Amino acid sequence: MATERSAPAAWVSLLLLLLLVVVAAGCCAGAADVDEQMRRGGGRRGSRRRRAADVMVPITILNSAVHKGAVCMDGTPPAFHLDPGSGAGNRSWVVNLEGGGWCNNARTCRFRTGSRHGSSHFMERRIAFTGIMSAAPADNPDFHSWNRVKIRYCDSASFAGDTYDEALKLHFRGQRIWEAAIEHLLAAGMASAKQVLLTGCSAGGLAAILHCDQLRALFPDGATTVKCLADGGLFLDAVDVAGGRSLRSYYGDVVAMQKVAPNLPKTCTDHLDATSCFFPQNIIDGIKTPIFLLNAAYDVWQIEQSLAPNSADPSGAWRACKFNRSACNASQLKFLQGFRDQMVAAVRSFSESGSNGLFINSCFAHCQSELTATWNNEAGGSPALHNKGIAKSVGDWYFGRAQVKAIDCPYPCDKTCRHII
């Protein structure tokens, strides 16, 4: 009886197994076809309507970088995603440096090797390009037809470290990853670019600031317009709620552990210590390449991790406020307004340059250029200053259509914000 009952179950299991094999084979074959198309330089879609699958941009593993020592923390090759330009955008490039925080000790750095922020083994094989990376004209009117590339982040020091920790068996080669990726892109056509925009969000925004002049130096003939956009990268050397400097201590560990100092702007390190020169407020005035700073005055990452981290708030007095702005009491709001004032002061000299741009809104947010809802979702009400959204502001600045030096009034005056908390 047991044998008679198990026979139908066995046939069902066999049929299910065969079905899974067929589906998997079809899926993998399709993925291989797309990857091969990108390797051959395909993927240029011109004016053709994009298929839904084209929104997801496949990864390119940069195996050729390994012999240069340009590797992720676990020794795997670096990677990028490229969606080629078309038409008038063929000779223009958006180069996006992925963000994702940092690591400052053995425990946190080892942990990241098991994630996409420390190993290309764990990186998504396809990612969506949205916001400033979008190929949709309605979402990204000024840059949709450009070559758009995202360089993946797996070094944990904003593409700026350069050392190998023998005891930990960890590679901190962010500077080499930057150089290898840019060298590859130059050879792939960027060397003849008419226009380049280096961008990044969060730790990638800091990286865009750190590498802005380095990129400009690769186009010495002046035939290429090079500018940089730092989104959510204006990290401040601020006093925390306990009177300490939590982020400065953290940055000090990152800079020392990953040997960042030699790759910091010399215009800063010639008179300040290396940790100070990892803070954008001490770098931006010395950068010669035009930069646009896009930042929320109430940057939620900085509120949670720099101003009121758990280590500075052991009683939990700030716990409700830092995750819900409406839960902040009067004294907490006053403290946050002081942080905004510090940010405004930090960009005062920077804003005097006619080539630089600013969009500092009074939102509780972090990174606003890579999401459609905050970049250019006019129908849904994207953030705006002086009746101008972020995409229009960045485009006006990049193409010289108008100067953009927009700083919002203090919270809660802005009704266009997409608050995170």
Residues with active-site annotation: 202, 299, 366
Give the HSE-up count for residue 194: Cα atoms under 13 Å, Cβ half-sphere.
Answer: 8
Answer yes or no: are the C-beta atoms of 92 and 193 closer than 8 Å.
yes
In the block, tokens 């050392």 appear at 163
Cα gap 41→55, rounded to integer Å? 17
Helix (H) or strand (E) holding 294: strand 291-299
Helix H or strand E encompassing 341 = helix 330-346
Residue 396 burial by CB count (10 A; 0-12/13-18/19+): exposed, middle or buried?
Answer: middle
Q: Report how far residue 346's alpha carbon sits from residue 297's, in angstroms, rounded to the nearest whole number.
A: 11
Tokens of residue 184, six digits: 């590859």
Report d(CA 65, CA 68) in Å as an integer: 5
The whole-angstrom distance between residue 17's C-alpha and the CA centroid of its chain comes to: 41
Cα(62)–Cα(281) distance, integer angstroms: 33
Q: Which token pair is 284?
A: 């931006």
Burial level of 416, CB count in 10 A (0-12/13-18/19+)? middle
Q: Report residue 296 as tokens.
A: 């929320």
Whether residue 194 contacts residue 93, with contact meaning beta carbons closer than 8 Å, is answered with no
- Distance (Å, rounded) from C-alpha 366 to C-alpha 141? 23
Instruction: Determine the length of the chain.
Output: 421
| Selection from 99, 91, 193, 86 nearest residue 136 by Cα | 86
> Amino acid identity, residue 359?
F
328-333: long-range contacts, CB 8 A cutoff, minimum separation 24: 333/411
Angle subtended by helix axes 174-187 and 203-216, to nearest 10: 50
